[in-house]
């Protein structure tokens, strides 16, 4: 029994340490700190502490369980953990399914904006743009809408930065429309839809964003009455845990609101 406990503690410690490293890395490398890696760091810290003090914690739980109030609190806590795990699995399945939804040929490409630094796209925006380039080269009759406004700490709009990147990588400017007013995913798609209607473009769209973001973007497209497919950009590994976790909260917010 003692060996089993030691094995469990070692596994939990390894899991917590690996997770903590994964969530702290974006902050150490790029000072990225958001609800995604904050939540991840908190959960991983709890797992680490649990692995280190497991016998004492179990002893406390046994004593607490003997009280009626303790039974109620621990039961609610356990239900909360189980519900969180089930929700995470459900949302993850939806994410994977959405990212695998293939667009039609020669769909109107909508590239959703992301952070820019000067005239350079961020890593995740570059991943989206590279995915868009691949699709546009394979579908020569497609046109592209680059969608994203200018943040307070940005020197140009995300749309302009994306336009420059695409044209510098061989995409003709005649195939690119700029939407430079949006500040959210919903506005990205709503304002891009106005461009589609105004210019008589194909209303079958290909949403270009990171894979974890395709589900939420797709639900917004459905609300607007658009038929869509996904052209996902592959998120670099050291950023994925943080932004995947942040997206879980964003999806939950969309479901509730």
Please write the tens of the pLDDT for every residue from 139-190.
999 999 999 999 888 999 999 999 999 999 999 999 999 999 999 999 999 9
Q: What is the mean pLDDT of the chain?
A: 96
Express as a percent the part of the chain with pLDDT over 70.
Answer: 100
Q: What are the backbone angles phi and psi of residue 181, rounded to the nearest 5°?
A: -115, -20
Q: What tokens were used for 84?
A: 């969180």
* Per-residue pLDDT, 257: 81
* Per-residue pLDDT, 244: 98
36-50 average pLDDT score: 97
Indicate whether 1 pLDDT > 80.
no
Q: Which residues contact 172 (CB under 8 A, 6 or more apart)?
A: none
* First vs last C-alpha separation in the chain: 48
Q: Is 2 helix (H, G, I), strand (E, B) or coil?
A: helix
* Per-residue pLDDT, 2: 79
Measured from the Cβ of residue 187, the count of other Cβ atoms closer than 10 Å reads 17
| Rg of the chain (C-alpha set) | 22
For residue range 67-114, what is the model confidence (pLDDT) as tens digits?
A: 999 999 999 999 999 999 999 999 999 999 999 999 999 999 999 999
* Per-residue pLDDT, 4: 87
Q: Is 49 helix (H, G, I), strand (E, B) or coil?
A: helix
pTM above 0.85, yes or no: yes
The C-alpha torsion from 152 through 154 and 156 to 162, rounded to 10°, is: -120
Indicate whether 227 pLDDT > 80.
yes
Q: Burial letters for 34-69: b for 16+ Cβ neighbours within 10 Å, e otherwise?
A: eebbebbbebbeebbeebeebeeeeeeeeeeeeeee
Indicate whether 21 pLDDT > 90.
yes
Which DSSP state fits 31?
-
Q: Is 229 helix (H, G, I), strand (E, B) or coil?
A: strand
Express as a percent the part of the chain with pLDDT over 90.
Answer: 95
* Per-residue pLDDT, 153: 86
């Amino acid at each position: 029994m003692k060996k089993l406990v030691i094995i469990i503690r070692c596994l939990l410690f390894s899991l917590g340490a690996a997770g903590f490293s994964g969530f702290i890395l974006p902050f150490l490398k790029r000072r990225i700190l958001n609800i995604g890696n904050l939540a991840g760091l908190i959960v991983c810290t709890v797992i680490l502490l649990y692995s280190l003090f497991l016998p004492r914690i179990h002893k406390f739980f046994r004593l607490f369980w003997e009280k009626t109030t303790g039974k109620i609190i621990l039961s609610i806590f356990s239900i909360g953990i189980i519900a969180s795990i089930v929700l995470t699995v459900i949302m993850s399945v939806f994410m994977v399914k959405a990212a695998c939804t293939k667009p039609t040929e020669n769909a109107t490409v909508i590239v959703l904006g992301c952070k820019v630094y000067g005239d350079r796209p961020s890593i995740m925006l570059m991943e989206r743009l590279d995915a868009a380039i691949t699709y546009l080269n394979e579908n020569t009759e497609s046109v592209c809408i680059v969608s994203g406004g200018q943040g307070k700490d940005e020197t140009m709009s995300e749309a302009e930065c994306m336009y420059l990147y695409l044209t510098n990588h061989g995409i003709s400017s005649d195939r690119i429309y700029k939407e430079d007013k949006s500040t959210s995913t919903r506005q990205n798609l709503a304002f891009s839809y106005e461009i589609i209607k105004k210019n008589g473009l194909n209303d079958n769209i290909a949403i270009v964003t990171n894979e974890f973001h395709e589900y939420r973007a797709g639900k917004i497209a459905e609300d607007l009455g658009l038929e869509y497919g996904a052209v996902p950009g592959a998120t670099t590994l050291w950023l994925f845990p943080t932004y995947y976790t942040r997206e879980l909260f964003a999806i939950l917010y969309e479901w509730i609101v």
